Structure 1
Amino acid sequence: MRATGLFGGTFDPVHVGHIELARHALEYCRLAEVVFIPAASPPHKSRKHLTAFHHRVAMLTLATEGESRFSVCEVEKDLPPPTYTVDTLNHLLQKNTCATEYYFIIGIDAFLDIHTWKEYEKVIGQVHFIVAARPGYTVSDLQECIASLHYQKKVDHWYNASSKRKIYYLELELADVSSTDIRKTAGSSTLPKDAIAPAVFKYIKDHNLYSSGR
């Protein structure tokens, strides 16, 4: 069974923290690959405040160049807005022609809101989860949420006997950088170049992205 990580997000822009997390997830769960899925029309964000989809895809492509087990999937571009996780997964599962198990990579802050997701019970029945640590959140916060989803603690993961799905927790320290900070500083000399790949930095400058400090 091929293990494929799915890493969704706006990636506006993609930064070193995203890449570090994907690498850790790849190794920790012995994934065959990680597929980055840029959001086209996320329900929790206004489209007018998002950088154009093609720019975000281009930056992701540049950031993952040279990583043979990383790829970028534009599946949400053709899905009707807003694009919910359950709809994206349904589309991927329908197109899946090989024996693949999906592992959804997500930060603990986003995972703790899973009860608010559209058809969240269907989502947790379709994929395993790799939940990454975030400052300000603890394993105790995660355990309470997981218990409400009827998972039981095993040695290195939680397991749902009904769906046969697992939840892994990645306790790691990522680079202290955020897409929001990059957007705010991109138009000035204070943009931390080590926060993003050089090719992405050049792309931002060449296309005058975030010049308003959005």
Structure 2
Amino acid sequence: MEDTLQPIRRIGIMGGTFDPIHMAHLAIAEQVREAFALDLVLFIPAANPPHKQGRKVAPAYHRLMMTQLATYSNSCFHVSKQELERTGPSYSLLTVREVQEKYGADAELYFITGSDTINELHTWYHIEELLDSCHFVGTTRPGAPVDKEDLVKRFGRLAEEKIHFLAVPELEISSTDIRQRVRCGKSIKYVVPAAVEAYIRKEGLYQ
């Protein structure tokens, strides 16, 4: 019988602390998946994000479970615990290398992040090597305009070929606000999936 399975060619990478994951994460991932014809989007919770040093985050197990609950209903969303199994800081270059190793050199990788983060790419670990290995999709956010001329000045051809932009719905949702609402006993319905809300309540997170 002929094998009808198609190889995975285009993969989105959605990294983050996911403390907790919320509806804006999911909406953005789906918009990018559709716009760039991605075969799947990998959600990769960070174990030890370099930019979050000094802030207490929920245990990795809980963040992984919430991410799995949030993405379960979308067959194009997958969750990877690769960063949780790695020691040391969660550098994106290491993550991209591991994804490429798993899915093959032919797979095109699209790193999904916000436009505010795109402006800070020059501070990332081995950023030129990272840009050479994958595309970046900067999703536009209110109050965070992108300096495209500066990107070209810094990265030249890589900026023109590897950095893309996509306007997404302006969803004013943040994990910081969700944690604060839980601490204050306020509702988080419709800002996180119902399964994530139930998990947060059951486990007593963010109290």
Common fold: TM-score over 0.5: yes
Residue in 2 that maps onto 1:195: 191
Distance 1:44 1:19 in 2: 22
Structure 1 residue 52 corresponds to structure 2 residue 53: no
- How big is the shift at 1:80? 2.0
Structure 1 residue 144 corresponds to structure 2 residue 150: yes
Task: Select which of 78, 82, 90 maps to 1:75.
Answer: 82
Q: Write out aligned runs for 1:1-214 (5 A).
A: 2-46=9-53, 49-97=56-104, 99-139=106-146, 141-151=147-157, 159-160=160-161, 166-211=162-207
Distance 2:34 2:186 in 1: 33
Q: Which amino acid aligns with 1:177?
A: I
Q: Which amino acid aligns with 1:159?
A: E
Alignment: residue pair count:
200
Distance 1:143 1:61 in 2: 38
Does the 8 Å CA contact 1:20/1:174 hold for their aligned counterparts?
Answer: no
The sequence identity of aligned pairs, in percent, is 35
Distance 1:81 1:126 in 2: 21
- How big is the shift at 1:66? 1.1
Residue in 1 that maps onto 2:4: none
- Computed over aligned residues only, the root mean square deviation of the Cα atoms, in angstroms, reads 1.8
Distance 1:25 1:178 in 2: 19
Q: Deviations over 1:143-172 (max 9, x none)?
A: 4324421148xxxxx633xxxxx3221112
**Superposed structure 1 runs of 4+ greater than 6 Å apart:** none
Does the 8 Å CA contact 1:108/1:142 hold for their aligned counterparts?
Answer: no
Of residues 182-191 and 62-71 in structure 1, the stretch that sits farther from structure 2 once superposed is 182-191
After TM superposition, the score normalised by the length of structure 2 is: 0.90
Residue in 2 that maps onto 1:155: none
Q: Aligned with 2:122: secondary structure?
A: helix
- How big is the shift at 1:112? 1.0
After TM superposition, the score normalised by the length of structure 1 is: 0.87
Q: Deviations over 1:63-94 (max 9, x none)?
A: 11110100100011222211211111122223
Q: Aligned with 1:24: secondary structure?
A: helix
Structure 1 residues 62, 118: closer, same or farther in 2, change over 3 A? same
Q: Tell me, which stretches of 5 or more residues in structure 2 are unaligned?
A: 1-7
Q: Which amino acid aligns with 1:103?
A: Y
Distance 2:41 2:197 in 1: 23
Of residues 196-205 and 169-178 in structure 1, the stretch that sits farther from structure 2 once superposed is 169-178
Does the 8 Å CA contact 2:188/2:197 hold for their aligned counterparts?
Answer: no
Does the 8 Å CA contact 2:116/2:145 hold for their aligned counterparts?
Answer: no
Q: Aligned with 1:180: secondary structure?
A: helix
Does the 8 Å CA contact 2:113/2:139 hold for their aligned counterparts?
Answer: yes
Does the 8 Å CA contact 2:100/2:107 hold for their aligned counterparts?
Answer: no
